[in-house]
């Protein structure tokens, strides 16, 4: 065995009162600030607006990476991506830093019961170690697409070339409006479960940290029909005359591939293509996005209602955040995955005890990794020394306060066999981007956008401004992100032996809880794993030097095992 890791929640700090505030931690996937309280007149979001009326609304909050996995990993560990070593979708943070302590783990140390529903971490790897209770499965739900959709998908797959990345992985249509009740669709069903726990946890003596992660408005844009009917698509402001940022490097933009994963969008144009998404198609896609935002808003309203009904509102911190923004045609793009304002800027609302300026808006810069120290301070528990963020409590007490001179986000890109890391710092006046060679840290190109004159970041002006501006922004960026080479491969990964042959590694589960066994690829990516029931066994055959991660579904076991002998059995037991 390479390692087995014990987690901080096993050892609570004595002497802490159970009267400290609860935390309701609401994540909404792919939510840009298309919310009424952020000034979007097309959004129908009465419940998020209601939450904003008793929150401080952060108008300039930014994610660390504009894609799901690294953004959430950074937020939940309080660490910048370069420290954590997670920049892309495939790598689980436990392979990058196996003994890292997450926010809910830290709260458990101080007597909190931490429970999760939905998407808090990246979907394939929900991190059971973080939670006091196993994550429960959803009940079976109806198929949301019309009859014949599966045949449509198969026909489209069969027509793709053999080397197409979607050949065996094509998804259903990008939109659907089933005539179903809210709780017969994914996010509504999860809200039912979260409400059950909210009522249950609110009656116990210990404070709770309840996380509810909504999948919409992430694709596919599926919401019950009534939420589509709320919006008149003719009134949606379809964008025209868009272009990619002038004088920016070719690798600054993403290629819209996320949407082309769906059967009806296989041929969606890339931002730099000559053809564009036609107006009516773009209007339909926007309609789907806004319908999903309204659907999620209604589910958030159900949570807020229960807080009031149970008498919990006055003693519960409520945080609403999104993992990144989203383009609805801006820069001719659809999706996230850039360093620009439209993808990096996120909604952030914080309400509850300690929020002195409820109902007010702040222009103070904030980063998502600030949530870890902020919630610790609001809950009156120790702020760990490993977090990189800054507490936002000064802004909760005075919306004119400033805790950052700049907010940093970054994005990894490959082009023509080369790897780059772009670092972007947003100040009150500018967005400055420095692209570097990934393995050496050498600067390859710079971008600069002046937010005093326009906010759409359409023209890179780095070569036409006073050099002093660039030098000042460079120095500010280097304070937190010095130039250095990076390595993509995480600490835990397989290293198959060239001439070692195959071996067999058997896992016997001698515990009373299910476990899951994941093969970790040489790149560091986990597979989806094999579930092993209590008293069950599984045998894995791989090349010598392969590495497996074993986790129990109740979060009490996390072990790393290499395949180092031709035949070996590992017995998984409780300590």
In contact, 573 and 510? CB cutoff 8 Å: yes
Q: For residue 429, what is the DSSP state?
A: S
pLDDT score of 11: 60
* Sequential DSSP letters for 408-459: EEEEEEEETTEEEEEEEEE-SSEEEEEEEETTT--EEEEEEEETTT-SS--B
DSSP percent split of the chain into helix, strand, coil, nearest 5:
30, 25, 50
pLDDT score of 575: 75
Q: Which of 420, 292, 400 lies closest to 356, judged by CA? A: 400
* Cβ neighbours for 496, distance < 8 A, ≥ 6 positions apart: 522, 542, 543, 544, 545, 546
CA distance 269 to 267: 6
Count other Cβ atoms within 10 Å, centred on residue 149.
Answer: 15
Q: For residue 525, what is the DSSP state?
A: B
- The maximal CA–CA distance of the chain, rounded, in angstroms, is 69
Annotated catalytic sites, by residue? Answer: 68, 122
pLDDT score of 15: 52
Going by their DSSP bridges, the two strands 3-4 and 55-62 should be labelled as: unpaired
CA distance 227 to 177: 8
Torsion, CA 334, CA 337, CA 340, CA 342, rounded to 10? 50
Pair of tokens at residue 10: 């096993």
Splitting the chain (575 residues) into consecutive groups of 10 residues, what average pLDDT does each group show?
46 62 98 98 98 98 98 98 96 95 98 97 86 94 97 96 93 98 98 98 97 98 98 94 95 96 96 94 98 98 98 98 98 97 98 96 98 98 98 98 98 96 98 98 98 94 97 98 97 90 95 95 93 96 95 94 94 90
Going by their DSSP bridges, the two strands 55-62 and 345-351 should be labelled as: antiparallel
Pair of tokens at residue 443: 């600067």
CA distance 187 to 470: 45
pLDDT score of 14: 58
Count other Cβ atoms within 10 Å, centred on residue 163.
Answer: 6
- Residue 265 DSSP SS3: helix
Pair of tokens at residue 123: 């979907």
Q: Which of 298, 249, 291 lies closest to 50, judged by CA? A: 298
* Sequential DSSP letters for 199-263: HHHHTSSS-EEEEEEE-TTSSSEE--HHHHHTS-GGGS----S--PPBT--GGGS---TTGGGBG
* Cβ neighbours for 326, distance < 8 A, ≥ 6 positions apart: 30, 31, 32, 217, 289, 335, 336, 342, 343
Kindly list the distances between the CA atom of residue 361 and the CA atoms of 131, 211, 368, 452, in Å, as whole numbers in the listed order: 32, 24, 17, 19
* Cβ neighbours for 416, distance < 8 A, ≥ 6 positions apart: none
pTM: 0.96
- Residue 50 DSSP SS3: helix
């Amino acid at each position: 065995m390479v390692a087995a890791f014990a987690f901080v929640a096993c050892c609570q700090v004595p002497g802490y009162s159970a009267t400290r505030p609860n935390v309701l931690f609401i994540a909404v996937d792919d939510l840009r600030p298309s919310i009424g309280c952020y000034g979007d007149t097309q959004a129908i979001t009465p419940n998020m607006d209601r939450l904003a009326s008793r929150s401080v609304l952060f108008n300039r909050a930014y994610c660390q990476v504009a894609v799901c996995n690294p953004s959430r990993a950074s937020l939940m560990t309080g660490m910048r991506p370069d420290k954590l070593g997670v920049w892309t979708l495939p790598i689980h943070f436990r392979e990058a830093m196996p003994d890292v302590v997450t926010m809910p783990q830290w709260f458990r140390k101080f007597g909190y019961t931490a429970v999760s529903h939905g998407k808090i971490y990246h979907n394939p790897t929900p991190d059971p170690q973080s939670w006091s209770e196993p994550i429960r499965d959803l009940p079976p739900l109806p198929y949301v697409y019309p009859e014949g959709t599966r045949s449509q998908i198969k026909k489209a797959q069969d027509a793709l070339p053999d080397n197409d990345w979607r050949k065996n992985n094509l998804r259903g249509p990008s939109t659907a409006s089933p005539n179903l009740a809210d709780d017969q669709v994914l996010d509504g069903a999860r809200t039912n479960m979260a409400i059950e726990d909210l009522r249950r946890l609110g009656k116990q003596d210990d404070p709770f940290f309840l996380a509810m992660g909504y999948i919409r408005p992430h694709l596919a844009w599926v919401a019950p029909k009534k939420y589509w009917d709320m919006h008149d698509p003719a009134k949606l402001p379809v964008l025209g005359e868009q272009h990619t940022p002038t004088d920016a490097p070719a690798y600054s933009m993403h290629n819209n591939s996320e949407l082309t994963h769906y059967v009806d969008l296989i041929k969606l144009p890339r931002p730099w293509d000559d053809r564009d998404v036609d107006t009516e198609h773009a209007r339909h896609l926007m309609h789907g996005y806004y319908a999903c935002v309204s659907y999620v808003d209604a589910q958030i309203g159900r949570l807020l209602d229960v807080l009031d009904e149970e008498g919990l509102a006055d003693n519960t911190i409520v945080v609403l955040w999104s993992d990144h923004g989203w383009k609805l045609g801006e820069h001719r793009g659809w999706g996230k995955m850039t360093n620009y304002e439209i993808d990096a800027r996120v909604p952030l609302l914080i309400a509850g005890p300690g929020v002195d300026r409820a109902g007010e808006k702040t222009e103070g810069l904030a980063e998502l990794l600030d949530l870890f120290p902020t919630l610790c301070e609001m809950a009156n528990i120790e702020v760990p020394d490993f977090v990189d963020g800054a507490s936002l409590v000064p802004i909760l007490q005075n919306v004119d306060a400033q805790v950052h001179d700049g907010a940093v986000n970054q994005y990894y890109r490959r082009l023509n066999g080369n790897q780059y890391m772009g670092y972007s710092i947003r100040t009150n006046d500018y967005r400055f981007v420095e692209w570097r060679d990934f393995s050496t840290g050498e600067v390859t190109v710079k971008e600069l956008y002046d937010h005093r004159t326009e906010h759409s970041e359409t023209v890179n002006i780095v070569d036409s401004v006073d050099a002093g501006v660039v030098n000042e922004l460079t120095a500010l960026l280097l304070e937190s992100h010095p130039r250095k080479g990076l390595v993509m491969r995480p600490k835990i990964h397989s290293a198959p032996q060239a001439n070692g042959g195959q071996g067999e590694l058997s896992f016997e589960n001698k515990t009373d809880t299910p476990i899951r066994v994941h093969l970790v690829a040489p790149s560091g990516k986990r597979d989806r794993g094999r579930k092993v029931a209590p008293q069950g066994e599984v045998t894995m055959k791989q090349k010598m030097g392969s590495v497996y991660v074993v986790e129990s579904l109740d979060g009490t076991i996390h072990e790393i095992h290499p395949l180092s002998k031709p035949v070996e059995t590992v017995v998984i037991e409780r300590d």
